[in-house]
A and B are shown apart, each in its own frame.
Chain A
Amino acid sequence: MDISIFQIIWFVLWGVLWAVYFMLDGFVLGTGFLSGIIAKNDTEKRVLINCIGPVWDGNEVWLLTAGGATFAAFPTTYALMFSNLYSALVLLLFALIVRGVSFEFRGKLDGAVWKSSWDKAIIVSSFLPALLFGVAFGNIFKGIPMRNDFVNLQFSYEGGLIGLLNPYGLVTGVLFVLLFAVHGALYISTKTSGDLSSRALSLANSIWPALLAVAVIFLAYTYPATKLYDNYLKAPLILIIPVVAVASLLLIKLFAGKGEKYKAFTFSCLTIVFVVATGVAGLFPNLLPSNLDPASNLTIYNSSSSLITLKLMTVVALIMVPIVICYKIWVYRIFRAPVTGEEVLGDKQAY
């Protein structure tokens, strides 16, 4: 088979990995940065941490897989994306590191200062990745100031950390924060019971209008700021992706308003997946465009691995990803029951 088929397969997989990562870590990040608003006391905070405790680590692996897949399938994109966005990604890394240990460390000592310090750490280290991922993807959609000469292998970057904080990047950042906030609040409402659950649901309901407003701004702003709509004009059929995204977004409110939290959460999963898909479909065949010169765009054609590596990785992905999905579903089923305060207080192994 022709190499371009595998390049396209890996483009799709690349998009799927990011979409699944944001769907899964989105509610962990959302739960994390909303914990300060929703939880009223220490027991409720522990309930929240225990809602995400069994799954956060497995969810974060989707990020490692997305990163690893970029490395293996599109090494030139991996190399230039990571080095060009150096400072932003190092900040992101610090936040993810702190978040991971916060869950583990918080319950290990009893002091009030100790606990409140880790509570703050959880909030900041969950909020920052949500914002930074949004800013990063906004800039990926928009293109970054790089000049790449693929013949002479000369690559240069003319931007910096501050340049990433452009209006479009920030709008995308806020969009991600609000998406994850609604997603996290709905997750909490499905995973807890009683007063805590209804407070989370009403928080989701009250954040939703802001999310809708920013989503509208994002969709409108995307037209002048990026070239994402070009693909949609060329192949109107793929408009189905943003249509599903918008429909899901509206259905969140419909079900959340009626108190049907499981359905609302399902549609917030779909919203995140299809928002990411909307952006990724608009990028094709680019992985990271340049806003200086279209010839410098990193595409699936000029940055991919060789045919043999792409084939090898395809086989691995086709075998392993379904297996991973199966056992992850099994795990989510085991922990499907809402977490209660009594349960958390009785279990010494819990966070």
Chain B
Amino acid sequence: MDVLFLSQLQFAATCMFHWIFVPLTLGLSIMTAWMETKYVTTGDETWLRMTKFWGKLFLINFALGVVTGITMEFQFGLNWSEYSRYVGDIFGAPLAIEATVTFFLESVFIGVWIFGWQKVSKKVHATTIWLAAIGTNLSALFILQANAWMQNPMGFTIRNGRAEMTDPLAVFFNPYGLIKFPHTLLSGYALAAFVIMGVSAWHLLKKNEVDFFKRSFRFAAVWAFVASMIVGISGDFHAVKIAKVQPAKFAAMESIWETKRSAEMCLLLVPNAPEECNAVEELKIPGLLSFLAFHDTNAEIKGLKDFPKELRPPVTPTFLSFRLMVGIGTFMILVSLAAIFLSRRDRFEDNRLFLSIMVLSIPLPYLAEQLGWLVAELGRQPWIVYGVLKTADSVSKSVTSTQVLLSLLGFTVLYGILGAIDIFLLVKYAKKGPDSDLSNIINVQGRV
């Protein structure tokens, strides 16, 4: 196996593993901050117990997100040194700024939040989780702007054998990333809300801490619906942007082979990539695809055949990932809407079917998160920077396939073990439920 393939595999594996933990961190950080603020403003101790319980899950999950994040920063230099040298003038800046502006905020204040219950006042304590949450959320902005430059490069020129920044504002306010930011960030909120609903539903099925978990469930249901809606709406805008700046990716997402005006949407579609056509095209809705792509039912959609074969992304995986992601997203909107209404009813804890659906739904947003990045990154191939630099020209030249094979094995074993332990601990603490000894919690309150 060659260095390029192994490096791609390693990058995909470490990214996807990192992204198992990050969305929950994004969402739970904000929601935990919200709960603690509710406690500080109302004095209601249930909010404190919620802060402690969901905050504990947040921390167990947070640890793995942090440590696997170091890999992300190192890996560009380790495996993609040609890329790093060629685009570092542009791509390095958001990463360095991310570290100085947001990682410090997140890491320093999370330490105060964990260890400072007895050291600072209630208000200061609640402020620290907000600062940590803001740091976490803002870091997503910088990393998405860095990624946006790979998808839709702007504000640069090719000079001195590399890409050099000419317009920092264009790099940092890339519209591609500004659309992707709410889409990605809110997907984390939706995921976290589904985790809270799922865990709460599990306890409600067991009639465990009913008041505590009913409140948690109702709280999360609103977040889940609002976040899922925004993810859907921003996803639509995102697709419009893709159709405009990455037509080959859009064609692969929809498996469109022939260029046509007023393109129809096939609800049932099976691509046949080797034959460059679709094996099944059923349940057609005329003009819908043109409308989704350009908000105009007559617009022309470019087909894959308009692009040379070597410049097309892998069609079937991109298409399937996109379809499945959209399907899960739609399901999440409907289920969370139902959750809002059903959870308002008295004794909704007796609705076992509904609660079971919520427990079983926990993995779905996780799957959608992975699929979303697959669409984004597979759909950009064969480019690493769209239209500027190919992935094949980006790999480190001084690294051998044995080295990458060994590091890939190392990552697989290490991440496998740590991931299993982390998920085991998450499940254990989620099942254990909140601390029932209230005095225990009150005693560790700081001075006011």
A 79-119 to B, binary, CB cutoff 8 A, 1 in contact else 0: 11111101101100110111011011100110000000000
* Interface assignment of B85: CB less than 8 Å from any CB of chain A: yes
- On whether A83 and B78 interact (CB within 8 A), knowing A71-B95, A94-B410, the answer reads yes
Question: Which residue in A53, A100, A320 is a CB contact (below 8 Å) of B114?
Answer: A53
Closest chain B residue, CB of each to CB of A334: B119
Pairs of residues from A and B, 6 with the lowest C-beta to C-beta distance, nearest first? A75-B88, A82-B77, A72-B92, A68-B96, A71-B92, A83-B81
Q: Output the least CB separation between B50 and chain A (Å).
A: 15
For window 55-93 of A, CB contacts with B under 8 Å fall at 55-58, 60-61, 63-65, 67-69, 71-73, 75-76, 78-84, 86-87, 89-90, 93
A4 surroundings in chain B (CB, below 8 A): none
For window 18-69 of B, CB contacts with A under 8 Å fall at 52, 59-60, 63-64, 66-68
- On whether A64 and B103 interact (CB within 8 A), knowing A93-B74, A94-B414, A101-B67, the answer reads yes
B164 surroundings in chain A (CB, below 8 A): 305-306, 308-309
Please name 21 pairs of A and B residues whose Cβ atoms are closer than 8 Å in the assembled complex, sorted by A.
Answer: A53-B111, A61-B99, A61-B107, A61-B108, A64-B103, A68-B97, A72-B92, A83-B398, A87-B403, A89-B74, A97-B71, A97-B414, A97-B418, A101-B421, A104-B63, A146-B398, A157-B398, A312-B168, A327-B108, A346-B444, A348-B435
* Interface assignment of B112: CB less than 8 Å from any CB of chain A: yes
A 307-351 to B, binary, CB cutoff 8 A, 1 in contact else 0: 011001100110011001001100100110000000100111110
Question: Which residue in A61, A79, A84 is a CB contact (below 8 Å) of B88?
Answer: A79
Q: Is the interface of A mostly helix, strand, loop or mixed?
A: helix
Point out which of B88, B107, B414 has the most chain A C-beta atoms below 10 A from its C-beta.
B88
* Interface assignment of B276: CB less than 8 Å from any CB of chain A: no
A 225-247 to B, binary, CB cutoff 8 A, 1 in contact else 0: 00000000000000000000000
Q: How far is the CA of A324 from the CA of B164 in the complex (A)?
A: 29
Q: Output the least CB separation between B28 and chain A (Å).
A: 15
* Interface assignment of A50: CB less than 8 Å from any CB of chain B: yes
Q: How far is the CA of A81 from the CA of B81 in the complex (A)?
A: 9
In the complex the two chains form, is A58's CB within 8 Å of B81's CB?
no
Closest chain A residue, CB of each to CB of B160: A306
In the complex the two chains form, is A57's CB within 8 Å of B111's CB?
yes
Q: How far is the CA of A57 from the CA of B113 in the complex (A)?
A: 12
In the complex the two chains form, is A331's CB within 8 Å of B112's CB?
yes
* Interface assignment of A156: CB less than 8 Å from any CB of chain B: yes
B76 surroundings in chain A (CB, below 8 A): 71, 78, 82
* Interface assignment of A301: CB less than 8 Å from any CB of chain B: no
Report the contact-size class of chain B (Cβ under 8 Å from the partner): 35 or more
Q: How far is the CA of A256 from the CA of B174 in the complex (A)?
A: 55
* Interface assignment of B336: CB less than 8 Å from any CB of chain A: no
Point out which of B77, B97, B161 has the most chain A C-beta atoms below 10 A from its C-beta.
B77
In the complex the two chains form, is A58's CB within 8 Å of B96's CB?
no
In the complex the two chains form, is A78's CB within 8 Å of B114's CB?
no
* Interface assignment of B133: CB less than 8 Å from any CB of chain A: no
Q: Output the least CB separation between A98 and chain B (Å).
A: 7
- On whether A73 and B70 interact (CB within 8 A), knowing A55-B111, A79-B85, A90-B410, the answer reads no
For window 259-309 of B, CB contacts with A under 8 Å fall at none
B 108-127 to A, binary, CB cutoff 8 A, 1 in contact else 0: 11111011111110000000
B100 surroundings in chain A (CB, below 8 A): 65, 68, 316-317, 320-321, 324
B407 surroundings in chain A (CB, below 8 A): 86-87, 90
Q: Output the least CB separation between A174 and chain B (Å).
A: 25
- On whether A78 and B108 interact (CB within 8 A), knowing A54-B115, A320-B100, the answer reads no
A309 surroundings in chain B (CB, below 8 A): 89-90, 92-93, 164-165, 168
B89 surroundings in chain A (CB, below 8 A): 75, 305-306, 309
B351 surroundings in chain A (CB, below 8 A): none
For window 328-382 of B, CB contacts with A under 8 Å fall at none
Q: How far is the CA of A63 from the CA of B100 in the complex (A)?
A: 11
B418 surroundings in chain A (CB, below 8 A): 97-98, 101
In the complex the two chains form, is B107's CB within 8 Å of A75's CB?
no
* Interface assignment of A223: CB less than 8 Å from any CB of chain B: no
* Interface assignment of A153: CB less than 8 Å from any CB of chain B: yes
Q: Output the least CB separation between B152 and chain A (Å).
A: 19
* Interface assignment of B254: CB less than 8 Å from any CB of chain A: no
* Interface assignment of A155: CB less than 8 Å from any CB of chain B: yes
In the complex the two chains form, is B88's CB within 8 Å of A305's CB?
yes
B83 surroundings in chain A (CB, below 8 A): 79
Q: How far is the CA of A155 from the CA of B63 in the complex (A)?
A: 37
In the complex the two chains form, is B440's CB within 8 Å of A348's CB?
yes
Closest chain B residue, CB of each to CB of A146: B398
* Interface assignment of B73: CB less than 8 Å from any CB of chain A: yes
B115 surroundings in chain A (CB, below 8 A): 50, 53-54, 335, 349-350
Closest chain A residue, CB of each to CB of B64: A101
B162 surroundings in chain A (CB, below 8 A): 75
